Structure 1
Amino acid sequence: MDNPNQRYKEFGDFLKTRRAKVLPSQVGLPEGTRRKTPGLRREEVASLSWIGVTWYTWLEQGRPLQVSVQVLENLARTLLLNKQETIHLYNLAGQAPPTSFPSRNEPVNPMLQHVLDSLEFSPAMIMDARWNVIAWNTAASKLSLDYSAIAIHKRNMLRIMFTNEEFKKTFTDWSSIAQGMIARYRTVYSKFIDDPWIEEFVNELKSESKEFERWWSMHDVKTEDVRLKTIIHPVLGTLYFEETSYIVADNTSLIMNIFTPPAGSDTKDKIIRFLLDQTE
């Protein structure tokens, strides 16, 4: 596409057509009764993508604007683009598509969600290769964090660990846990070091958290198969978990994390009583 103006027009038209295909309910918004056009409104796409309404409007109008990788990631998430659509979006914006596309823009395999849901008393989630949370079970929402209440583009476990003050309070030794998480994320960083998204993400976290900036600069690297965690729940008090991680065999970019109450603790009994009370 040699004509740059045509590229910008195509980019804007593509955004408009994708916006029209997304139902408000698909991104957690109420349907409303006074919608003149199908799909999302411009201001809704802008808000969900963490960009200004005016600037987004200019994008749809085909104005010659430079779009960062982070904005493209946010737009792809908000508009629920599949892999091919995401590649097309990057190409129209004149950006190199990432070499590996996590599947967070598409629902997880229903069988995987069923596995999560079957773990009634163990909080569990599925993350993509960059640690963006894409699926979770009821136990995770009730005992750890309601991920549905977090904006999609903020639903990253490393970001949550360093920027969500309520989540921080659930750990008896947040500093140690957070540093260990950074050390494990370093291995992720090395795999995606040529991906512009990862660099933007790390720089954002540096600006949002002084602790992250300081500990990231230490370049510690660590991997663990089993991690013991103690969590303080506002109702149940102290809970103990063994955290284990598994690569999903049919999609190796996905990671399943399971928090299992250890044998000999009273954690499982506390959880059972609590969840039963929640359903009554």
Structure 2
Amino acid sequence: MSVNTARSLGDFLRSRRTRLDPASFGFSGRRRTPGLRREEVAQRANISPTWYTWLEQGRGGAPSAEVLDRISSALMLTDTEREHLFMLGLGRPPEVRYRPVEGVSPRLQRLLDSLQTSPAIIKTATWNVVAWNRAAAVVLTDYGALPPGQRNILHFLFRDPAVRAKQHDWESVARFVVGAFRADVARAGLVSEAAELVDELCSASPEFDALWRDNDVLGHSDADTVKRLLHPTLGPVELEYSAFSVDGRPDLGMIVYTPVDGEIAERIRVLAASA
């Protein structure tokens, strides 16, 4: 850690410490300065007071991820502040903390709904669809007609004949989805949590089992930029594929499919409006 970075880390820790109310943590006594004392932060973080003092003074050296997590909890940092703490202390963001998701914020849903001609979804690290717009419902899958536990993209692709029949090149799509799913669950630290889904799909689909055994790891940049569908109402459809992270929620991802053809886009808008 450079001298300037160590100083920035110390300044940040001190600023977060001095904003906290000692009484709310059960600490009493007269104080000459606002906020918690250094030894009180160290106590809450279960680390040495000397070590914490050195960190604030910019001479403690590079702390471990575990120490930074303890300090983050002790200082009641927000997710954004925790990420900043890791960037200063280790030069990288922290590992993703997975949180079960049942829906998205109204603001994010309004964003999806504003894309009237582009199917758009929000998915978790385990590829469960938790939000979508009308265009996605009429072009991809009517997620609202399914119980929440069955809105998984891998389930659709490997176990739903109707979804499979829509794919222009099912084999290529399936290989990408399995490789990207493997990368996502590892990145989110969810390999164990995803084991039940993987075992279920391996038993139900020899094709998934074979792809899973290949151990391919893919990212969204490896996907074909154009998704081709054979839609039962719209006919052949070409959609440009774009993936985005969700601000403040690294465990979520947004996928938007933009129609290549303007006429198809208008037909999607009409179909979605009448659904």
Kept in 1: contact 2:117–2:266 (CA 8 A): no
Distance 1:265 1:194, change over 3 A: closer
Q: Does 1:200 align with 2:196?
A: yes
Question: How many Å separate the matches in 1 of 2:97 and 2:195?
Answer: 15
Equivalent residue of 2:257, what SS? Answer: strand
C-alpha displacement of 1:267: 2.3
- The superposition leaves residues 17-43 of structure 1 with CA deviations (integer Å, 9 ceiling, x where unpaired) of xxxxxxxxxxxxxxxxxxxxxxxxxxx
For 2:144 and 2:138, the matched residues in 1 are separated by 12
**Aligned mate of 2:173, from 177, 184, 203:** 177
Supply the RMSD in Å over aligned alpha carbons. 2.0
Q: Which residue of 2 aligns with 1:209?
A: 205
Matched residues, number = 178
Determine the structure 1 residue equivalent to 2:121: 125
Contact 1:192 1:198 in 2 (8 A): no
Q: Provide the rounded CA distance (Å) in 2 between the counterparts of 1:249 and 1:273.
A: 31
Deviation at residue 170 of structure 1 after TM alignment: 0.7
Are residues 1:144 and 2:140 paired?
Answer: yes
- Structure 1 residue 240 corresponds to structure 2 residue 205: no
CA contact (8 A) 1:102 1:130 kept: no
Distance 1:275 1:191, change over 3 A: closer
Q: Give the TM-score normalised by the residue count of structure 1.
A: 0.59
**Cα displacement (A) at 1:249:** 1.1
C-alpha distance in structure 1 between counterparts of 2:188 and 2:245, whole Å: 17
**From 268, 271, 276, the counterpart of 2:268:** 271
> Could you tell me which residue of structure 1 aligns to residue 109 of structure 2?
113
Sequence identity, in percent? 31
Deviation at 1:180, TM superposition (A): 1.2
CA shift digits 1:63-114 (9 cap, x unpaired): xxxxxxxxxxxxxxxxxxxxxxxxxxxxxxxxxxxx8433423x31100000
SS of residue matched to 1:232: strand
The one-letter amino acid paired with 2:124 is: D
Structure 1 unmatched runs, 5+? 1-98
Q: Which residue in the other structure is 1:223 paired with?
A: 219
CA distance in 2, matches of 1:265, 1:211: 36
> Residue 101 of structure 1 corresponds to which residue in structure 2?
98
- 2: CA distance between counterparts of 1:128 and 1:194? 11
Q: Give ranges in structure 2 of 5+ residues lacking alignment.
A: 1-95
Change (3 A) 1:111 1:164: same
TM-score, normalising length from structure 2? 0.60
Match of 2:153 in 1: 157
1:116 counterpart SS class? helix
Residue 265 of structure 1 deviates from its aligned partner by 5.5
Alpha-carbon distance in structure 2 between the residues aligned to 1:221 and 1:195: 13
Change (3 A) 1:275 1:243: same
In structure 2, what residue type is equivalent to 1:213?
D
Give the C-alpha shift of residue 208 in structure 1: 1.2
Max Rg structure? 2
Map 1:61-76; keep pairs closer than 5 Å.
none
- By how many angstroms is 1:205 displaced? 0.8
